[in-house]
Amino acid sequence: MMDQLLPIFILLPLLGYGISLFVPDKKEDTMSWITFLTIGLHELFAFGFTIFWLLGDHKLQTTKEITLLQTDHYKFDFTLMFDKITAVYLLTGAFLTFLVTVYSRYYLHREGGYKRFFNTILFFYIGYNIAIFSGNLETLFIGWEILGIASFLLIAFYRDRYLPVKNAVKIFSIYRIGDVGLILAMWMSHHLWHESITFEKLDNFQLVSDQLQSHTWIGVFISVMILISAAAKSAQLPFSSWLPRAMEGPTPSSAIFYGSLSVHLGVFLLLRTFPFWEHQLSVRILIALLGLATTVIAIGVARVQSSVKSQLAYASIAQIGLIFIEVAAGFHILALVHFAGNAFLRTYQLLVSPSIVSYLIKEQFYKFIPRQKSMEGKLLSNKMEYALYILCIKEWNLDAFMYQYLWNPLKQLGKKMDFLNLTLLLWFFIPTYLIGLYFLHFAEGFISPTAHAYLPVTFAFFGLIMVLKAFSERLHARLSWVLVIMNHFWIALAASYNEQFDFLQVYIYLSGVVIAGAGGWVILNWLKKRETVNLDRFYGHVYEHPVAAFLFFVCCLALSGFPITPTFIGEDLIFSHIHENQVVLALFVALSFIIDGLAIMRIYARVFLGPHSKNYHSIAYRSS
């Protein structure tokens, strides 16, 4: 009986979000009351459901699987489950989200994006509930993606300012790495189980043990991909530097996202998949060491921050590192209590941070007391103390590390593709693609088996070239957009040559790409006739063309595989046709999916967000 009530936890915020879309921008009271009622009713229902569950047999509750797509060797199921982990995340999330909405009503009064903020909070709440109620990795991935987009929107809330927009794109790039890590974990788990494995089945020790004994390295690979996703989402090393940059959004969103709920989703992923990697000692040691290293570094960085929000961000990172250690050690009850305590504390600290700053300014003038010798000064020599201080001031060069070893190499590779232009696309790549389609459908027997074995990697490499050029393009927005579309087509061709399957699956994947790609191209052409549309700076066209900006953003989501088009399921479906021993092919496809999301969001941010390019508009502050 209780399992039939689980969909209500998803449908209630979805209903509230749908109603909120039709509220006029100036109706602040209406907008806030819809949010209050939606989250308030959800909170009451959550408390009532949990009490009845605890008074009963408090067994695991699961819904019947809803199959969104099924083929001979693949299933994409949507399933929900409820247990003690979900209960803690649900009650904590419901209470804190309601608290933040009450606070935001007054904090954001007369703010230009008042309605947009509450819309995004409800959108976030939908993704959060899908994630914590997920019964398998596929369902979790839907919520995971929604949280990533909601983060982007809230960080770039002050969309007429330079730093919020720039940091939103930077943080989305880190989230994209976590997304692809989860896709790769799903890909390999399909080959390991030959089904869409549920978290309920993972609790079967005998089932997991029998599979991992004969597939040790596959198990390690899945566990490492899960760890990468969790580390990216929870700002653990080497991804820690994104969390302070996320504080460019409004204080309420910083509290609910980066102090309490969203930043702890990495911990949730580890808790949910613990039965899978529980007996992989090397993975448990790796998670514990990662948490320990993050905690040590983040504590030092937090102690030297001049900004209250940055200090709280690194303090939260340090606590999450400790929670990683607790999860790896198997102390799950302690980890859940620690999560709830850290979430409540950071939410409170961030919400009162504006007032604390004013109090400290007064104390600085009237009650200033020189600081006594620090703990480090008592334990370390002056030389070591100063060296540690400089490292912490520079945040251990984590940003520079990411740029030097990840983004800059990708940009340099992209710059080597400067020969790519629309003419070359028309006269070389498109004819080559059409020839590939011809041989695939009508003359496959003419290709030798040896050549056929290399074609999937070759076509995937062509797709990677396209998206690298799209990512590094600094001038033509329409060229970058076309290159991203072509990348999807090359990936589909590579999968088609790799394994024989029903071509309806490719059509499902590309249908979303074609519709979104055509829509985005039409909007860019329409805007090009009226404005400057380049990628050399932020142009802020959302100020004068909000409808075009909204429609183009929807096209961007669809093209990047967001769960509103078949492309979302199609990306996972394409991976299911890559065999477990085809590491190079999987690497090329994974890199393509990472970079195409970055290129798409970069186009949107450069064309529509940031300070307006026209000098008759007022210039906003650089930072929020």
pLDDT for 370: 61
What's the chain's average pLDDT? 85
pLDDT for 360: 63
pLDDT for 289: 95
Average pLDDT over residues 357-383: 64
pLDDT for 216: 77
Band (pLDDT 50/70/90 cuts) for residue 378 is: low
Is pLDDT larger for residue 78 or for residue 74? 78
Rounded Cα distance, 304 and 381, in Å: 18
Q: Which residues contact 460 (CB under 8 A, 6 or more apart)?
A: 490, 491, 494, 585, 588, 589, 592
Phi-psi region of 48 (alpha: psi -120 to 50; beta: other; left: phi over 0): alpha
The per-residue pLDDT for range 120-163, each reduced to its tens digit, is: 999 999 999 999 999 888 889 889 989 989 989 988 888 888 88
3-state secondary structure 252-309: HHHHHHHHHCHHHHHHHHHHHHHHHHCCCHHHHHHHHHHHHHHHHHHHHHHCCCCCHH
Band (pLDDT 50/70/90 cuts) for residue 611 is: confident
* Token duo for residue 310: 């940055």
Coil, helix or strand at residue 322: helix
pLDDT for 377: 59
Q: At what angle do helices 137-155 and 162-193 cross, to 10 degrees?
A: 170
Beta carbons within 10 angstroms of residue 200's beta carbon = 15
Angle at CA of residue 515, ends 419 and 74, nearest 5°: 95
Q: Cα-Cα-Cα-Cα dihedral of 529, 476, 553, 172, to 10°?
A: -160
Band (pLDDT 50/70/90 cuts) for residue 207 is: confident
Report the range of poorest mean pLDDT among 92-96, 194-198, 276-280.
194-198
Beta carbons within 10 angstroms of residue 278's beta carbon = 17
Spatial contact of 171 and 163, defined as CB atoms under 8 Å apart: no
Rg (CA), the chain: 25
Rounded Cα distance, 165 and 87, in Å: 35
Spatial contact of 603 and 481, defined as CB atoms under 8 Å apart: yes
Spatial contact of 267 and 290, defined as CB atoms under 8 Å apart: no
Residue 376 has pLDDT above 70, yes or no: no
Phi-psi region of 24 (alpha: psi -120 to 50; beta: other; left: phi over 0): beta
pLDDT for 363: 59
Residue 491 has pLDDT above 80, yes or no: yes
Amino acid identity, residue 470? A
Average pLDDT over residues 550-575: 84
pLDDT for 353: 78
Band (pLDDT 50/70/90 cuts) for residue 90 is: very high
Phi, psi of 82 (to 5 degrees): -140, 125
Report the range of poorest mean pLDDT among 331-335, 532-536, 567-571, 616-620.
616-620
Band (pLDDT 50/70/90 cuts) for residue 75 is: confident
Give the global pTM: 0.91
Cis amide leading into 238 (omega within 30): yes
